[in-house]
Amino acid sequence: MRGWWQELAGLVLPVDCAGCGAARVLVCADCRGALGGAVAGPVRPSPRPAGLPAVQAAAAYEGAVRAVLLAHKERGALPLAGVLGAALAAAVLAGGTGPGRGEVALVPVPSARRQVRARGHDPARRIALAAAGRLRRAGVPARVAPVLGLRRAVADQAGLGARQRRENLAGALAVRRDGARLTGGARIVLVDDVVTTGATLAEAARAVRAAGLAAGPAAGPAAEPGAVLRAAVVAAPADSFARAPRTAAR
């Protein structure tokens, strides 16, 4: 019910831009441009965690981009999923996924149940659903495959360093029983809203490979031949881009 009311309120009540505060617009043209994917490209956290697949990001995690992501994730501004989904779709396309290259399964990194309850929604999954719709409209068959789940409790990642995050998440994720069915025949792209140290995506990749759903050191015989695991996110720190992105609007 909380999510339903938030969606309704976002549609009917006057709002200010989530990125810069411009009056009476959900996301202004400048802030939408910062999330438009014009600078989408590869990012490489340093140090790079073992097993991290190639990661594409649509924008630098700063300024308006950071403000929009936090408004959606922490303050329940659910209508922002549309513009964030478009950014995520741009990152997926930047990784070489395009029309005529087969179906794509977007696998969102899961949130802990307590976080979903506190926020009233699962941010990565909601953005993934919007991205899949945008990809389909661009001619790319895409679906969301929520096959990952937490198999043990993990600490809040906020305030943890790269090594602590890796230790916190080691072995925490697993693929659900129906994972092979939900991803069968599609190229898997792990998706999240933000990448910082890369620990979360590296653990997600380990779980997917261990279940035999993609090629890699731990992949089983069910992996598609030549199935290279990829990842895409809305945003990443500016200094992790292989090429320096332009400063986000405002």
pLDDT digits (tens, 9 = 90+) for 236-246: 999 999 876 55
Query: Which residues on adjacent β-strands are paired with residue 149?
Result: 174
Query: Apex CA 225: angle with CA 220 and CA 234, to 5°?
Result: 90
- The per-residue pLDDT for range 171-192, each reduced to its tens digit, is 679 999 999 999 998 999 999 9
Q: What is the reported pTM?
A: 0.85
pLDDT level of residue 114 (50, 70, 90 thresholds): confident
- Under DSSP, the state recorded for 229 is -
Region 58-75: what's the mean pLDDT?
95
63: its two tokens: 């300024």
CB 119 within 8 A of CB 73: yes
- Tokens (6 digits) for 215: 């090629």
Q: For residues 11 and 42, what is the distance between their CA atoms, to the nearest angstrom? A: 34
What is the mean pLDDT of the segment spanning 118-130? 90
**β partners of residue 106:** 144, 189
| 133: helix, strand or coil | helix
